[in-house]
């Protein structure tokens, strides 16, 4: 546990609490201190996925196998630690709660998952997003499908289970 706390910059070399730990202990704001530290430690995960905290255990197992190694039990513990940390973190307007991104709204009625709400939000302008994609001709059909799935997943917050809703 000490190794994890040191890696998160919560403890210094003498195992004393740091300013990062103090910031984390602020009620309601602590996740903002934890999120960036997780992104530093698990940088390859955030390079491989826009939201690794939403990935399946199988995908996380693959990422841990590539980037840290270890036996099945070790990787399972690493996944559990990663998920537990992420449940208490805030990553750039995405609040993690119970292992998934909450759909937070800004004042213009646009959610963190990219969805536009039809409710009237007062004096602010409506936001309309048009997405234009220019694709190279030398890609396979599967490459195009992967791109479209990524757009649905990362911009609109869709997963395979809710894609047909």
Of 67, 102, 137, which closes a domain? 102
> What pLDDT shows up at residue 18?
92
Residue 18 forms part of a structural domain: yes
Residue 147 in any domain: the answer is yes
- Per-residue pLDDT, averaged over 30-36, amounts to 88
Same domain, 85 and 17: yes
pLDDT at 112 over 80: no
Same domain, 123 and 80: no
Are residue 15 and residue 82 in the same domain, yes or no? Answer: yes
User: pTM of the full predicted structure?
Assistant: 0.54
90 falls in which pLDDT band (50, 70, 90)?
A: confident
In a domain, 38, yes or no: yes
- Cα(92)–Cα(133) distance, integer angstroms: 25
The residue with greater pLDDT, 86 or 162, is 86
What six digits make up the tokens of 60?
């996380």
pLDDT tens digit string along 46-65? 888 888 888 889 999 988 88
The parent domain of residue 80 ranges over 1-102
Question: Looking at the predicted structure, is the pLDDT value of residue 105 above 60?
Answer: no
Could you give the number of structural domains in the chain?
2
E strand map for the chain: 90-91, 94-97, 100-101
Residues 78 and 11 in one domain: yes
Which residues lie closer than 8 Å to 119 by C-beta, 6 or more apart? Answer: 109
């Amino acid at each position: 546990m000490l190794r994890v706390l040191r890696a998160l910059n919560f403890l210094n070399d003498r195992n004393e609490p740091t300013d990062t730990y103090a910031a984390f202990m602020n009620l309601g704001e602590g996740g903002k201190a934890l999120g960036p530290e997780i992104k530093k430690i698990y940088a390859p995960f955030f390079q491989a996925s826009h939201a690794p905290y939403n990935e399946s255990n199988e995908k996380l197992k693959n990422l841990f196998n590539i980037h840290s190694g270890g036996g099945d039990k070790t990787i399972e513990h690493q996944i559990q630690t990663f998920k537990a940390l992420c449940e208490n973190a805030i990553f750039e307007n995405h609040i993690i709660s119970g292992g998934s991104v909450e759909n937070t709204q800004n004042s213009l009625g646009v959610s963190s998952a990219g969805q536009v709400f039809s409710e009237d939000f007062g004096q602010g302008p409506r936001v309309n997003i048009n997405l234009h994609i220019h694709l190279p001709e030398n890609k396979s059909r599967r490459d195009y499908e992967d791109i479209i799935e990524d757009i649905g997943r990362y911009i609109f917050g869709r997963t395979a289970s809710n894609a047909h809703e």
